[in-house]
Structure 1
Amino acid sequence: MTAPSHVGPVSAAPTAVPAAPATPAPPSARNVPALLLALRRREFTGSVTVSSAPGGTIHLEHGLVSAVETPGAPTAETLLLKSRRVGEEEWASAETAVSVGRPADAPPAWGGDLGAALVAQGSIGAAELEAVCAAAAFDGAFALFLSPPGSWETAEAAPPARIALRPGIEPERLFEETARRTALLTRLWGPPGELARIRIRPAARADSGEPRIPVRYREILAASTGRRTARDLGFALGRGLFAVLLDLVRMDARHLLHREPAHRAPLAPSVAPRIPTSEPPPAATGPLPRRVRGRHGAGGSGGASGPGGSGGTGGLPTRSEGAAAGPDGPPNAHRAEHTARTGTTDQNEKSEKSAP
């Protein structure tokens, strides 16, 4: 292809630089799964921050989920360090190698690749690191599902996860695994959200030293203090939330656990000052009228007769009447009064029968 000929000298005007394409607005979606599917089609790289209880951050690289960080489940870093797969000195050495090798003009989304540094220095194998990162991502997505839904926000310039799975997980695969875990726990125990809130401690059978208890069960029992949930046990032992929940279900079937109430009473009374209300107190209406034991009438049904009254109870206090005490008497005073009246009536009946 020949270059076009120009008539006259070529102007020295600078060539216009094409404008950078505008960043498309985040897609609108009805929920987080629909949002992730839309971001996958766009091959979005960045993060989705979910605001809920506890919420978390979903990291995406070209639309694939590379990591899920949430306070509700241990991250890959926690799993590696707490389980002692990687020592703290080895971890610090990898962090130093990443920070020194980072280019000065690196963009915010530069990977750093702490996982590659751990593999390069021989702290962990590549296959094992991939398995741990995938387990942490699936576990984080499951923990986000257990929390009530909230709002979300996308960010393209967000820094990536410190250690991530590459190339990542398809969003559909994440949804399928979350649904499978939820269905399994629901079938074996019940709603997983309720199970995740239970605080446990060892039962008497576990304290008896049964030799057939597996080692992983013993570790859970040793870490159970009555104040820890499955999430707390996962962080303490370096295990995933779903794995701990599944072990708790099986341990509960063997009667190794004691469940603590979900809402415990406060240990001390409140010392907050009492603020009087502006409304006046209700006016006293006086004591409620008490029923008088009536005599048997011709119809055979006893009871107090009066305007609009009906017999049939024989003067016995109902449940609502028995629960209320007189305004000036101690609690259950009506029971003593009723006993006294009954005793007097019984004595009168005995005297009438013994009379000639």
Structure 2
Amino acid sequence: MCETAGGAMSGHEHLAQALAACGRDGFTGELRITGTPGGIFHFGDGRVVAVESPGAPGPEALLLRSGRVSGEQWAGLVRESGGARWPATALIAHGYAGAAQLRVVCALALHDAAFAMAAGRVEECERHATAEPFAQVPLGEPPLRLLQDALRRLAALAALPHPVHPDRERPVRSGTDSGSGALRSELLTHADGRSTARDLAFRVGRGVYTVSVEVARMLDEGLLVCAGPPPPVAVRSLPEGDELRPRRPPPVEQPPAPARTDLPRRKPGNFFRLRNGTPT
């Protein structure tokens, strides 16, 4: 955690200062965020042109889950584009998506990844300058406005009757109600008591914020419930006066001594008499 003259800064303060400095300096490159889930803000001339985080589905995951393009087709587009991380031109040329659709998907993913990082823990922010930024939103977003939008979403989520944190609650369906709407039906299908809102977002191919809000509403309506902690394991106590003692191995029985079989003894002089023919 970064320190100031008055003490340790919070994660949001640390992130806000780092983003503001990148915008003020017209920075081009990566602002790498260490924490949970962490991620990278990509800057071009002081504006955020892409955000990546393991805590939120990126544009690729959103497109693949939507069914617009298959995994095999995506791999072919990447090869055709010379290994480009975001083959936007090839996607448009092959008719998998229009330019306007890609701009919307990239903008949604950018804001959602920023929200996921703001909802988590920020430990360190480190700059890495690059000649060309990884740009999914060419015009970019002002960095502080992007953070303010993420904090506004966090506040809106916390104000719901049953607030949900992306990495906290692990809901499970409460009954047989299939829910109304495609998103609710998918969430009811995948809510298994082990998956958080973030996990569910990856499974259904939607933004983490959108899924967190919907899970909160479904919890409030009783369609989902939060799985409680596992019951404690019952431990039986020993009767009074008894105590645990180290287990001793049973004594090893010694094998009986082998029976003695005496060999016949040779009388002195027998060998000499036999050799020389002397009678006994």
Coarse TM-score class (shorter-chain normalised): 0.7 to 0.9
* Matched-pair contact (CA < 8 Å) for 2:162–2:217: no
Distance 1:75 1:112, change over 3 A: closer
RMSD, matched Cα: 2.9
Higher relative contact order (CA 8 A, sep 6+): 2
1:150 aligns with 2:87: no
- Cα contact 1:146–1:192 (8 A) shared by 2: no
- Structure 1, unmatched stretches of 5+, are 1-28, 101-110, 270-325, 330-356
For normalisation by structure 2, the TM-score amounts to: 0.73
Letter in 2 for 1:43: G
* Structure 2 CA distance for partners of 1:39 and 1:228, relative to 1, 3 Å: same
Map 1:323-338; keep pairs closer than 5 Å. Answer: 328=241
Residues 178 and 208 of structure 1: CA distance in aligned 2, closer, same or farther (over 3 Å) = closer
Equivalent residue for 2:67, pick from 60, 79, 84: 84
Q: Partner amino acid for 1:40?
A: G
Conserved? CA contact 1:47–1:158, under 8 Å: no
Query: In the TM superposition, what are the counterparts of 1:220-235 in structure 2 within 5 Å?
Result: 220-235=187-202
Q: Which runs of 5+ in 2 are unaligned?
A: 1-8, 243-280
Query: Which position in structure 2 is the counterpart of 1:202?
Result: 173
Of 151, 159, 165, which aligns to 1:179?
Answer: 151
Amino acid in structure 1 at the alignment position of 2:202: F
Aligned with 1:245 (options 205, 208, 212): 212
Q: 1:113 to 1:238 in 2, by over 3 A?
A: closer
CA distance in 2, matches of 1:241, 1:171: 20
- Residue in 2 aligned with 1:25? none
Instruction: Identify the residue that residue 182 of structure 2 maps to in structure 1.
Output: 215
Per-residue displacement from partner, 1:64-90 (whole Å, max 9, x unpaired)?
A: 112211111111111111222322233
Report whether the alignment pairs 1:70 with 2:37: no
Structure 2: distance between partners of 1:264 and 1:82: 33
| Contact 1:182–1:192 under 8 Å retained in 2 | no
What is the distance in 2 between the residues matched to 1:159 and 1:58?
14
- Name which of 90, 99, 104 aligns with 2:82: 99
Question: Which residue does 1:347 correspond to in 2?
Answer: none
Contact 1:196 1:245 in 2 (8 A): no
Change (3 A) 1:224 1:53: same
Contact 1:136–1:240 at 8 Å: present in 2 too? yes
SS of residue matched to 2:139: coil
The one-character-per-residue Cα deviations of 1:116-158 (angstroms, maximum 9, x if unpaired) are 2212222111111111111111111111011122012110138
Alignment-mate amino acid for residue 183 of structure 1:
A
Counting strand residues as a fraction of each chain, which structure ranks higher? Answer: 2
Whether the aligned pair in 1 keeps the contact of 2:28 and 2:132 (CA below 8 Å) is no
In the alignment, the residues of structure 1 paired with residue 177 and residue 114 of structure 2 have an alpha-carbon distance, to the nearest angstrom, of: 38
Counting only pairs closer than 5 Å after superposition, residues 236-275 of structure 1 correspond to structure 2 as 236-261=203-228, 264=230
Is 1:114 aligned to 2:97, yes or no? no
Distance of 1:125 and 1:137 partners within structure 2:
18
Query: What amino acid maps onto 2:197 in structure 1?
Result: A
- Rate the CA distance shift 1:127–1:264 in 2: closer, same or farther, 3 A: farther
Q: How many pairs align?
A: 228
Distance 1:40 1:202 in 2: 44
Question: What is the deviation of 1:232?
Answer: 0.7
| TM-score of the two chains, using structure 1 as the length reference | 0.58
1:140 equivalent to 2:140? Answer no
Output the CA distance in 1 between the equivalents of 2:61 and 2:232: 32
Question: Quick check: 2:78–2:86 contact (8 Å CA) kept in 1?
Answer: no
CA spacing shift, 1:58–1:265, aligned 2, 3 Å: farther
- Residues 198-224 of structure 1: per-residue CA shift (max 9 Å, x gap): 1111102xx145xx6222101110111
Given the superposition, is the C-alpha separation of residues 57 and 231 from structure 1 closer, same or farther in structure 2, using an over 3 Å criterion?
same
Question: Matches of 2:131 and 2:32 in 1, distance apart?
Answer: 10
Residue 165 of structure 1 pairs with residue 132 of structure 2:
no
Measured after TM superposition, the shift of residue 38 of structure 1 is 1.5
Residue of 35, 43, 54 corresponding to 1:52:
35
Q: How far is the alpha carbon of 1:192 from its aligned partner?
A: 4.6
Distance 2:144 2:222 in 1: 37
Aligned partners of 2:177 and 2:223 also within 8 Å = no
Distance of 2:119 and 2:157 partners within structure 1: 12
SS at 2:42 equivalent: strand
Post-superposition CA distance 1:239-294 (Å, at most 9, x none): 10000011111211221002113x54799x9xxxxxxxxxxxxxxxxxxxxxxxxx
